[in-house]
Chain A
Amino acid sequence: AQSVAQPEDQVNVAEGNPLTVKCTYSVSGNPYLFWYVQYPNRGLQFLLKYITGDNLVKGSYGFEAEFNKSQTSFHLKKPSALVSDSALYFCAVISTGDSNYQLIWGAGTKLIIKP
């Protein structure tokens, strides 16, 4: 079965420190990978995606993610965290082996950046 795992319910980082939000996946075909952010009482905002090409993907607000095929991971990173980065982050995947091309969502990781 296709799945996405975000192993950490919550990540706490001090402002100015680097942050990592982890995501691993299991799909039958090639993956299309996405990160979304949800601020309190707001809808989901697209951060970045990996479809093909360079394994390091740069997205909005200074975030980046690295696709690692051997480890089936797509961790979200930022070199220097801001308090305003505090939000709920979702990893999602589409499998090219799924004819429905349905998004499969991780459970979400709450990121808390402390001043």
Chain B
Amino acid sequence: SAVISQKPSRDICQRGTSLTIQCQVDSQVTMMFWYRQQPGQSLTLIATANQGSEATYESGFVIDKFPISRPNLTFSTLTVSNLSPEDSSIYLCSVDVFGYGYTFGSGTRLTVV
């Protein structure tokens, strides 16, 4: 299965600033997924990122708030913009390499103060 390196593992950010999260995969993948997870809660899909095209956002998530880059088949970034305390959460990237299973990054725990 794929190995994902996700950075940073945690950060504390000021209101109004932005945080960019990076995910690097050790193999080429078509789709990368970005999730948000409140501690102890289930996962909510933010968007799906395909290389060479704009990300597809789920209902309730917009590109201006969560811009995503996918410059190649092994890398993606998610930026959480104009931070507010409500953005405090865990953010996870995920890939599906072989079609039937998903691998996750270790997560980024964001605290907005």
Give residues in A with beta carbon < 8 Å to B.
32, 34, 36, 41-46, 49, 51, 88, 90, 100, 102-103, 105-108, 110
Contact A105 B43 (CB under 8 A): yes
Q: Which residue of B lies closest to A4 (CB)?
A: B42
Given A42-B106, A43-B106, A34 and B101 contact (CB-CB distance below 8 Å) = yes
CB < 8 Å: which of B40, B41, B45, B104 contacts A44?
Answer: B104
Given A43-B107, A44-B92, A32 and B43 contact (CB-CB distance below 8 Å) = no
CB-CB under 8 A from B43, the residues of chain A are: 44, 90, 105
CB < 8 Å: which of B6, B40, B101 contacts A108?
Answer: B40
Contact B103 A51 (CB under 8 A): no
Contact B100 A51 (CB under 8 A): yes
Contact A107 B42 (CB under 8 A): yes
Contact A43 B102 (CB under 8 A): no
Question: Per-position contact with A for B43-58: 1 when CB-CB < 8 Å, else 0?
Answer: 1010010000000000
Q: How far is the CB of A21 from chain B (nearest CB, A)?
A: 14
